[in-house]
Structure 1
Amino acid sequence: MNGNIRIGKLFGIPFYVHPSWFLVLGLITWSYGSGIAAQLPELAVGLPWILGLVTALLLFASVLAHELGHSLVAMRQGIPVRSITLFLFGGLASLEKESKTPSEAFQVAIAGPVVSLILFGFLSLFGWAIGTGIGAEILGVIASVNLALALFNLIPGLPLDGGNVLKALVWKLTGNPYRATVVASRSGQVLSWIAIASGLIPLVLFGSFANIWNLLIGGFLLQNATQSARSARVQEQLAQFTAEEAVMANRSAVDAELPLRAFADQQILNRDPNQKFLVTDAEGQLVGEISIDSLRSVPVEDWSNQRVRDVMSEIAVERTVPAQASLLDVVKLLDEKHLSALTVIRENGSLVGQLEKPSILAFLQRQAQPSAA
């Protein structure tokens, strides 16, 4: 998974860390360890760094809890969670699909900040109960980080949680989830540029690296916000058309009653023995598929007596799609099932043709071309 290291499972969710996580773990350990060593020089050698490591691990445990908040709410809605990954800039819960309604989308988005705020309150009370000492100080640090994590993520721009909250609200108002994503992405882009400027201006004018994290985080957020806007525009366009509208005239269908000899003669120049040809009956109903390689099961001298129907194989239901399904659903099925093509059929079982990603892209390009006057 892109170089990520699998740690295990949490609530059935695969848990990974990106190699960049170890860099941040080391920096946080060094930073807090140095602070503890300076504040409490009487501590045994090495103990400040152990305490610094504990603090760093607790910080990432807070990020993990934040992502689990999103994941558990999504799972309660029937949305599978592919993984949770910790990396340089925090954590990411990868969901297989979007929520079905604006209300459910809001619940998933707000769950992470709510978990962080709950942790802030609990840790603050626990630290107050302890009173003074290094333990209370560490708890205070972790509590403050959870508060900052909640407030930062509530900034209203994708890909932050606040952006998903904004998306849910706009979706509720407009009824269009794709338009809502574009609005939230645009907000995220504006906020990202502000963060980039706050880090870049001091660096250029004064040579100061004080806000370098603003520059790095802003760049990361800008990239993701731009990708979200682009993806939403494509999804909106795909949702406007059906599978039947996009399918090209099918040239690979063969008649079920065609003799194998005639089929072989027609495909003699076909260099791919594994290419599948759809098989239809006299009424145009889809009845199966056949490949050149299927001919090997029949002796050559019997090709004139055997028909395509005799050696064809059935097409699995999961490799077909209704003619009125949206192109967005077609693309999702191709991705989810890792298929190269889907067979499009009407309600009565008649064949429309096949759809592949390249043909869908070509269709969208044709739609984008201005019509001739």
Structure 2
Amino acid sequence: MTWSFSIGHLFGSELRVHATFFLLLAWIGTAAWIGTAAWIADGPLAAGVNILFVLVLFACVVAHEFGHALMARRYGIATPDITLLPIGGLARLDRMPERPLQEIAVAVAGPAVNVVIWAVLVGLGADTDVERLMSIEDPAAGFWGRLAAVNLFLVLFNMIPAFPMDGGRVFRAALTLVVGRVQATRLAARSGQVLAFAFGFLGLTSGSPVLVLIAIFIFVAAGAESADVALRDMARHMRARDAMITQFESLRPSDTLQIASNAVIRTTQHEFPVTDPGGGLRGFLTRNALFTALAHGSNTRSVAEAMTTGIPTVQLAAPLDAALDALQDTGAPAVAVTEPTGRMVGYITRENIGELMVISGRDRQY
């Protein structure tokens, strides 16, 4: 994820923190310093307590995400990374299980971790008055009591039956048994977007920027998941040859960045295959990589210095969703399409798959 950086690895997944997370810490600390409660006379101490609370809270969020990750691993699904955002955590699974019972198990594993944390805190004597849920921002409510209340709140919030909340995934899995996965995802996404509008309205009327951010995230994520599931459903019925780009110019590894620049101006391509004299694929040079290389060096440097290597390949007759998986798993700018002999005859990008889906969707309407 852009603007995030790694802080280490845990249980086989990379832990990442988004840069905006530190804006949250700064905001929490500043707000506590300026509006110090009566029970603490020292502003810096109040800021430190609240920042510590947020850090411990996000440790619980990380535990929540690892609940999803470790359960997914039982079904052979890897979790490359977990990213901390100001509005929570995001575990990036290679894919979601499509069997309803497996998806339910992965979805509820996260909230189950928060239930365990809440139970442990209660067992250790944390004050868990229901009113804690209404005053979790007040330091006077007690550190561990607030933490227990927030974990209970996370369970209730995440189990709302609206996508992309965990409860929405349970809702989608249950609907899949009745109406199919695509329609179930569409319904769960719509419920999520209705929820997003409600959160956005509450955020605007109450002056809460966090609620507005959550609303935007839910709305965008719900729409993206619905589109992705529809895309994959259509891709299962197509082959790589149906989506590949066959008219393109290629570059040689020894070509200069100036030659590549001329090719960008001369064509409409956003990426260029880099092949050796024998036609073997060496990599891809994207426009962004070219512009970055030009900004940091001479245009006489070779294309080989700026190209992306490790490009995945699929066969002409391979299902199109195999190309989608390759693009997602590797992060490569394109997938090369090859004949059985290994010769590259075209390539596939995310953009041209999207264009194919739009065209195919319109064709089905007529």
TM-score by length of 1: 0.68
Give the C-alpha shift of residue 48 in structure 1. 3.9
- Taking the aligned partners of 1:113 and 1:168, their CA distance within structure 2 comes to 17
User: Structure 1's 124 and 34: CA in aligned 2 closer, same or farther, altered over 3 A?
Assistant: farther
Contact kept? 2:28, 2:47, Cα under 8 Å: no
- 1:232 corresponds in structure 2 to 229
Q: In terms of mean alpha carbon deviation, does 139-148 or 177-186 score higher?
A: 177-186
- Taking the aligned partners of 2:14 and 2:343, their CA distance within structure 1 comes to 41
Residues 204-263 of structure 1: CA deviation (Å, up to 9, x unaligned):
xxxx52x444333212211222222222222222223233555688999xxxxxxxxxxx
Question: In the alignment, residue 185 of structure 1 is paired with which amino acid?
Answer: A
Give the C-alpha shift of residue 291 in structure 1. 6.0
Give the C-alpha shift of residue 148 in structure 1. 0.7
- Taking the aligned partners of 1:247 and 1:21, their CA distance within structure 2 comes to 40
2:38 aligned counterpart, secondary structure: helix
Give the C-alpha shift of residue 123 in structure 1. 0.8
- 2:196 corresponds in structure 1 to 192
1:61 aligned counterpart, secondary structure: helix
Residues 78-131 of structure 1: CA deviation (Å, up to 9, x unaligned):
2111211111111111112222422111111111111111111211221349xx
- 1:284 corresponds in structure 2 to none
Contact kept? 2:243, 2:348, Cα under 8 Å: no
Contact kept? 1:36, 1:52, Cα under 8 Å: no
User: Structure 1's 47 and 329: CA in aligned 2 closer, same or farther, altered over 3 A?
Assistant: same
Question: In the alignment, residue 146 of structure 2 is paired with which amino acid?
Answer: V
User: Structure 1's 368 and 63: CA in aligned 2 closer, same or farther, altered over 3 A?
Assistant: closer
Q: Does 1:142 align with 2:147?
A: yes
Give the C-alpha shift of residue 359 in structure 1. 5.6
- Taking the aligned partners of 2:273 and 2:172, their CA distance within structure 1 comes to 49
Q: Does 1:89 align with 2:87?
A: yes
Contact kept? 2:323, 2:335, Cα under 8 Å: no
Contact kept? 1:342, 1:356, Cα under 8 Å: yes
Larger Rg: 1
- Taking the aligned partners of 1:239 and 1:273, their CA distance within structure 2 comes to 26
Give percent identity, aligned residues only. 30
Give the C-alpha shift of residue 138 in structure 1. 0.9
- Taking the aligned partners of 1:87 and 1:76, their CA distance within structure 2 comes to 26
Give the C-alpha shift of residue 25 in structure 1. 2.0
- 2:25 corresponds in structure 1 to 25
Residues 169-211 of structure 1: CA deviation (Å, up to 9, x unaligned):
122333x3333222211110111112222233x3xxxxx52x4
Q: 1:64 aligns with which of 62, 66, 75?
A: 62
Contact kept? 2:244, 2:337, Cα under 8 Å: no
Structure 1 residue runs without a partner (length 5+): 203-207, 253-270, 278-288, 294-315
TM-score by length of 2: 0.70
Report matched runs for 1:1-373 at 5 Å.
1-30=1-30, 38-41=38-41, 46-128=44-126, 137-174=142-179, 176-200=180-204, 202=205, 209=207, 211-246=208-243, 274-275=274-275, 290=279, 319-321=313-315, 323=317, 325-337=318-330, 338=332, 340-343=334-337, 354-357=346-349, 360-361=353-354, 363-370=356-363
2:162 aligned counterpart, secondary structure: coil
Give the C-alpha shift of residue 345 in structure 1. 5.2
- Taking the aligned partners of 1:372 and 1:21, their CA distance within structure 2 comes to 44
Question: In the alignment, residue 103 of structure 2 is paired with which amino acid?
Answer: A
Contact kept? 2:60, 2:114, Cα under 8 Å: yes
Question: In the alignment, residue 17 of structure 1 is paired with which amino acid?
Answer: V
Give the C-alpha shift of residue 8 in structure 1. 1.2
